[in-house]
Structure 1
Amino acid sequence: MSHAVRSAPVTRQRIIAAVLHIIGQGGVAAVTNRRIAKEAGVSLGSVTYHFSSQHELLRQSLLHFVREETRRFTELADACQQEGIDIEGAAELAGQVAGGTAFDSEHIAPFELYVEAGRDARLREAAAEAFAAYDRLAAQILGGLGVPDAERLAATTVALVMGLQLRRLATGSPAEDLVDALLLLARGALPTT
């Protein structure tokens, strides 16, 4: 196998990381092939070789971020299920994760991309795929906690988390707000005894 073939995935990852960094710093409008090449430390030709269009760059960057976040949160959800964590413990853990998430350029970029999907119908499919992944994960976590009708509540839970994270980003509000909101939602979904 040639060096070029072996290095292609690494180059793609460097380009995607550069795109997320650029978007997080300056928004989608700041993304240019020259800036990507400079940020990623690759040739200008590598950017156009690996990604046929700006749209494809944005789409793949969004999907990459979501895949990584989903993988990380799935591992966390699996660990919680193995430890038999209850709803209060899960909400507290979500608050710790949210509080520990720095709003660096990589974590700001998806918000920019979701807004861009509102303007660019070509990105909506990727955004829908991203939210579907978050919904599946939320349903898995809620179901594991014994919340009835977890699949129906998944999208609401994701919207709550995303909205509160956006609020934290914009205002600096504390992660404890997320814990309180998740507990309110989960307790409201549990059957009364």
Structure 2
Amino acid sequence: MTTNDDARSRIVRATLHLVGTDGVAGVTNRRIAAHAKVSLGSITYHFPTQADLLRAALEHFVDEETERLAELAGQYRSQALSLTEAATLTEQVARDLAFTAERIAPFELYVQAGRDPELRQVAERCWRAYDTLAVSVLSALGVRHPEALAPTIVATITGLQLRRLSTGTDTNLSESVLLLLHAEAVERP
């Protein structure tokens, strides 16, 4: 890795940290430079606008998250899972999402994506990765039409995670997902 790439990477990581700590409004070039230990000029050299910087930060998160989720999805693509095993997987994914500043930042950036169409395209990649994991697990459970249910499962997990983040209280994520899965598994007339 060249020094230029290293500086760029440190800037992106510092941006994610600051977004997660202080929100998008708290991101300034001076704060990023101090946190990343780079010169102030290197920020504008790599990222001419704040929109470019925020996009790169979300892309960095999405790239790492997509890789993590693809690995998980690959593990469950052709396995038969019980509902309990699916709940365990849900808990594992949720546990992996400890609320560090870098894990809070995407929530902020998803809201920002509502204002920035280019950022929205990056956010969409992450949601597709979550949906792909959900489809893999739902398929392993033998759920009919897993593609139709996946966004609901993903929204439930994300909503409960956001609730946990904003209230500081734990929610029973696996129980909620089990209820959705059980309802889907019940035969319909």
RMSD over aligned Cα, in angstroms?
2.2
Further displaced range: 154-163 or 76-85: 76-85
CA contact (8 A) 1:99 1:174 kept: no
- Find out whether 1:152 has 2:152 as its counterpart: no
Tell me how many residue pairs correspond in the alignment.
Answer: 188
- Find out whether 1:44 has 2:40 as its counterpart: yes
- Find out whether 1:86 has 2:92 as its counterpart: no
CA contact (8 A) 2:19 2:27 kept: yes
Partner of 2:10: 14
* Paired residues for 1:13-162 under 5 Å: 13-81=9-77, 84-162=80-158
Which 5+ residue runs of structure 1 have no aligned equivalent? none
CA contact (8 A) 1:138 1:158 kept: yes
Stretches of 4+ moved more than 6 A in 1?
none
The percent identity for this pair of structures is 50
Further displaced range: 104-113 or 72-81: 72-81
What is the DSSP-based 3-state SS (H/G/I as helix, E as strand, rest coil) of the residue aligned with 1:10? helix
In structure 2, distance between residues paired with 1:63 and 1:186: 31
Which 5+ residue runs of structure 2 have no aligned equivalent? none
Partner of 1:190: 185
TM-score by length of 1: 0.85
Further displaced range: 29-38 or 125-134: 125-134
CA deviation string 1:93-135 (max 9, x = no partner): 3214323532110111111111112233442222223222322
- CA change 1:134–1:52 in 2 (3 A) is farther
What is the DSSP-based 3-state SS (H/G/I as helix, E as strand, rest coil) of the residue aligned with 1:192? coil
Higher helix share: 1
